Amino acid sequence: MSIEERIIKTACHVFNLPADDIKIDSRFKGGMSNYTYLIYVKNHPYVIRIIGEGGEHLVNPHTEKTHLKTIETLNISSDVVYFDVKTGIKVSKYVEGTPLSVEMSDEDYHDVAKILKKLHDAKLTGADYDLKGRLRRYEKLLKTLPSPHYYQLKMAWLTLYDNYYINYPKVLCHGDAQRSNIVKGNDKTYLLDWEFTGLNDPYYDIASFGNIDFKDAEKLLEIYLERKPSSKDYERIRFYRMYQVLQWHIVASYKHEIGLSEKLHLDFKMIAEKYLNFADYLLKLIKGEDV
């Protein structure tokens, strides 16, 4: 069964309608393996997500559903109409707008700061993101051990975390607040895709915003803080961005191992190496070394 046939079959089940009432519009760009499509159900737009190969080991649908319920009162995301915790299939109402990965203005930084502050200041309960434990879990997915370079960088990160950053208070964070997951809608800005949500340092979300260009995170930081960031503030987002690229290094390596480089026409081996090199660069910045 093709992925498009699965999308149609799933939509028929969710909406209890025949296939003739379901129309596939397009697949969304972004994401390293999930299949996310815009569909029309009797001419009404919805987004359907099916977790891709290997993705079931990276996220916890039960936890995601709980967090989505938790953030409902904030009115900062799309409306979920169906969620199967066994399969991770999610259907939500389509948000009309433009992802910030496509287009972004100076005004959008203020909107992103506002929505992240609304989330962080709400001090909602949730599952811990478990930075250290998550890395270990992802490492165990690999058939071969990560490189010595990875372990060197990881140990440097762990030392900083255990000696200093572990003491920062945690709030419920989006966990993947990159530009592609933020949509400027017709009425407001929306924060989408909550698979990696958990209790974390709010600076983690600021660091995530630098996924395309880390300068975006540095610019957002000043707007979020409403003051000139200190050297420690900049070091803090670099520290969390270092974690993120170490995490995605392992994920990309895993996806290459299970054959997704060829299937998705993405060189995950090269992507993994780029992440590792950027982690090395960030550590040098944190240490104040020449780069």
Nearest to 98 by CA among 23, 33, 181: 181
Least confident range of 2-6, 21-25, 59-63, 165-169? 2-6
Q: What topology does CATH give the domain 98-287?
A: Aminoglycoside 3'-phosphotransferase; Chain: A, domain 2 (3.90.1200)
Lookup: tokens for 38: 């815009």
Q: Is the pLDDT of residue 33 over 70?
A: no
pLDDT band, very low/low/confident/very high, at 2 (cuts 50, 70, 90): confident
User: Which of 189, 289, 281, 188 has its CA nearest to residue 242?
Assistant: 281
What is d(CA 11, CA 8) in angstroms, rounded to the nearest whole number?
5
Contacts (Cβ under 8 Å, ≥6 apart) of 29: 180
Q: What is the β-pairing status of strands 90-93 and 44-50?
A: antiparallel
Handedness of CA 17, 88, 194, 241 (dihedral sign): negative
Q: How far, in Å, CA of 279 to CA of 59, rounded?
A: 23
In angstroms, rounded to a whole number, what is the distance separating the alpha carbons of residues 104 and 98?
9
Predicted pLDDT at 55: 86
pLDDT at 130 over 90: yes
**Residue 170 identity:** K
Q: What is the mean pLDDT of residues 259-282?
A: 95
% of the chain surpassing 90 pLDDT: 90
Same fold flag, 3-97 and 98-287: no
Q: DSSP characters for 60-102?
A: -HHHHHHHHHHTGGG--SPPEEEE-TTT--EEEE---EEETTT
d(CA 191, CA 177): 8
CATH architecture of structural domain 3-97: 2-Layer Sandwich (3.30)
Token pair 């919805």 is found at: 46
Alpha helices in the chain (DSSP H): 3-15, 61-70, 106-121, 131-139, 148-163, 203-208, 214-225, 231-257, 260-264, 268-287
Q: What is the pLDDT of residues 192-229, one digit of tens each?
A: 999 999 999 999 999 999 999 999 999 999 999 999 99
Tens of pLDDT, residues 150-196: 999 999 999 999 999 999 999 999 999 999 999 999 889 999 999 99
What tokens appear for 1 in the block?
């069964």
Q: Where are the domains of the chain?
A: 3-97, 98-287
Q: Which residue from 93, 44, 91 is spatially nearest to 65, judged by alpha carbons?
A: 91
